[in-house]
Amino acid sequence: MSQRAFITLLILLVVLVALSATPFLGAMIGFLFGITIAFFVAGPAMLIGKALEKNGIAISGQTGLWVLAGFYALLTLAAAFQIWRQLQRREPDQARSAGLRLAVLVALPMIAWLSVNAMQDAWP
């Protein structure tokens, strides 16, 4: 990835984070984020929880959230480690790609928090 594309994509990511705090677009982003979480995170997590419960391992909802948060933290640390490794190898293009992945992983919780708050404020 070239440096110009990297900077452009970072600016677009910052604009997306800023738009997620606005009343109209932020509420729409929050609604879509909620649907995404419901289908792609909550559904599989419930299926895994039921399978574990059938096998004698009872997991509460809070424990499941901590496991998901830990997995997300591991993904973030892996992206940071990949940046470091690419910089040690003197491969700036791959390091920028990994840096953009890390930026997206850091921005997603901010987007979710801002857009859900915007959705709560915009709700009649």
**Which pLDDT value is given to residue 106?**
93
DSSP letters of 6-43?
Answer: HHHHHHHHHHHHHHTTSHHHHHHHHHHHHHHHIIIIIH
pTM across the whole model: 0.78
pLDDT in tens, the chain (124 residues): 788 988 999 999 999 999 988 888 888 888 888 898 888 888 888 888 888 888 888 877 788 888 888 999 999 999 999 999 999 999 888 889 999 999 999 999 999 899 888 888 877 7
